[in-house]
Amino acid sequence: MLVKICGIQTLSAANAAANAEADFIGFVFAESSRQVTPQVAKEIAEQLPGKIKKVGVFVNESPEKMKDIANFVGLDFLQLHGEESATVAEQLPYRIIKAFGANSINREEIHSYPCDYYLIDSPRGKYRGGTGKPFNWHRLLDYRVDSRKLILAGGLTVDNVSEAISIVKPVGVDVSSGVETDGKKDSGKMTQFINRAKTSGKDERIDNLYNAR
């Protein structure tokens, strides 16, 4: 089970995520309460182990600016969290995560979009990101999204991530506010969340193997 900790703003939070064996950390470059500058992201990224993938989150930004920031910071993935067309994604020489709001999924678009992962988030809030509240995970089953490319987000916490994984069976999960205390990343919550998600992912794979026999 892949785990992405999004909204990283400090080196201490990034190190805590890395030490807890997160697979991705996300830097938000769009307008948000968790927005960081490229310079801050670069300073953090340079001090992280190479195995953790660095994701830049953008909303309706120009391909040229996204490429400039990605090159400057040393990003591995670009997460497109707005209304970016497939043409925009095709112009980016980086691996792509495309975010879709759970209440506005177009089945044809999500199946044809050129990306490495789909991120399904809760309905969009003030800053185009999710509201940080869970949605009806059973709805995703109707869209027949390839679970090998599906990252689930939206209101996940240590208390509900196992249930979410058991229903959706995603390849990964994404969390931000669910591992915070008073708006700041909490190292204890990050560790608990990552452990719970990865354990649940292992249990899900074992169940799938048993059921296939």
Segment holding 90, helix H or strand E? helix 86-90
**Under 8 Å CB-to-CB from 168, ≥6 apart: which residues?**
137, 140, 141, 147, 150, 152
Q: What mean pLDDT comes out for the span 23-43?
A: 97
Q: Set out the domains of the chain in order of their start, with CATH numbers.
A: 2-212 (3.20.20.70)
What pLDDT digit, counting tens, does each position of 89-109 carry? 999 999 999 999 887 777 788
Both tokens of 200, joined, read 């649940």
Separation of first and last alpha carbons in the chain = 22
Q: Is 186 a catalytic residue?
A: no
Angle (deg, nearest 10), helices 38-45 and 63-73: 40
For position 107, what pLDDT does the model report? Answer: 79
Q: Is 6 a catalytic residue?
A: yes
Question: Is the pLDDT reported for residue 111 higher than 90?
Answer: no
Res. 131 pLDDT band, cuts 50 70 90:
low
Question: Is the pLDDT reported for residue 204 higher than 60?
Answer: no
Closest CA to 1 of 147, 141, 154: 147
Choosing from 68, 121, 186, 207, the catalytic residue is 121
pTM of the model: 0.90
What pLDDT digit, counting tens, does each position of 14-26 carry? 999 999 999 999 9
Choosing from 6, 116, 142, 182, the catalytic residue is 6
Res. 124 pLDDT band, cuts 50 70 90:
low
